[in-house]
Structures are given as C-alpha cells and as structure tokens.
Structure 1
Amino acid sequence: MSYEKVLQAGKTVVGTKQTVRALKEGKALEVIVAEDADPSIIDKVMEAAKEANVPVTKVDSMKKLGKACKIQVGAAAVAIIR
C-alpha cells in the first residue's frame, strides 16, 4: 500500500505547495494524494503531475497519509522526490 511507500521513501515533500513545486522542478518521482482532501486543492496537484508525467497514487485518508509522513496533522499530498 502507498502508506508504506511513503514510510520507506528516502526523501519526501509534504503538502500541496511543496508537491507542486517539486513537480515543476522535475524532482518528484511519484505523488500520493488523499481522496478525502478538498478537490479544489488536489486538482492543482493532479494537473501538475499530469504535465510532469509523474504517476499519482490515491489513498483514502489525509490523516493516515500525515501519520505516514510522521506529522501530527493530515496531509493532502506528498511527493516522493529524487
């Protein structure tokens, strides 16, 4: 499951702004987004990932994604970076 991918990843960036930045800079290898996040927020990430031709994986929970990133709050988007 993708939560394990995040836990095992060497480097990640957490949050919508940082994920979009990593995509635009060509640093993102894969993006994970939470399905329960606000669609208007996730749409920006999805569009940037499509433009960068980076695979996107969806997970069910912002809370669990945040926990996998070792933060105390939910995360809408995470990028695994080079």
Structure 2
Amino acid sequence: MSNRPFSSRGKIPRKDRLPGVRATERAVQSGLCRAVYVAKDAEERVVKNLLKLCQEKGIPVSFFDSMKELGEFCSLKVGASACAILKDPGEGTGN
C-alpha cells in the first residue's frame, strides 16, 4: 500500500490500531475488529491461521507491502506482521 489506510471518516486513529498476530486473532474471534491488515512479507506460518479466521468471520483483509511499513502504520519502531482495526464503540460485536 502506498497510501495510509483511511476509515469512512478519514485517517484511522492510533487508538483503533491493534498490532500483533495474536492480538489481532483475539480481536477477530471476539468480534471487536472491522478490518485486518497483514504484511505481504510476513511468514506464511505466522499469519495462516489469522487469514483463515478472517475468512470464516467475514473480516476484510488488506495487505501492506512490508512488515516495516505496517509497523510504522501502527506507530511501532519495529515491523508488524498483522494489525486489527478495531470497531467504533457503537458498532457492536456481531461475530
């Protein structure tokens, strides 16, 4: 992705970004996220279960070109394999 992702109301606030594969998997399972970002260069074995889970739950998945770029998007100094975009408080948890 060359441009930063946007929500329907503009840029995605930092508080709505949850980096990390395990944290993202928990957010998907709990129905707390509306979208997931995955780095294209993340190891397949690391993100395979997450991608399957997103497909089962109907969560849209988009890709960043690199873990470094996704880490920067998440305001990290290191790379990230995945990131959940959390739902707004009024959106509910319809899993």
TM-score normalised by the chain length of structure 2: 0.79
Q: Which has the higher contact order (CA 8 A, sep 6+)?
A: 1
Identity within the alignment, %: 35
Instruction: Give the unaligned 5+ runs of structure 1.
Output: none
1:53-72 to structure 2, matched below 5 A, reads: 53-72=58-77
| TM score, norm. by length of structure 1 | 0.90
Gap regions ≥5 residues in structure 2: 88-95
Structure 1 consecutive aligned stretches of length 4 or more whose deviation exceeds 2 Å: none
2:33 to 28, 33, 36: 28
Larger relative helix fraction: 1
CA-atom RMSD in angstroms: 1.5
> Would the aligned equivalents of 1:2 and 1:32 in 2 still touch at CA under 8 Å?
no
1:74 lines up with 2:82 in the alignment = no
Q: Which amino acid aligns with 1:9?
A: I
Number of aligned residue pairs: give it.
81
Cα distance in structure 1, aligned partners of 2:3 and 2:56: 24
Aligned AA (2:47): I
Name the larger-Rg structure: 2
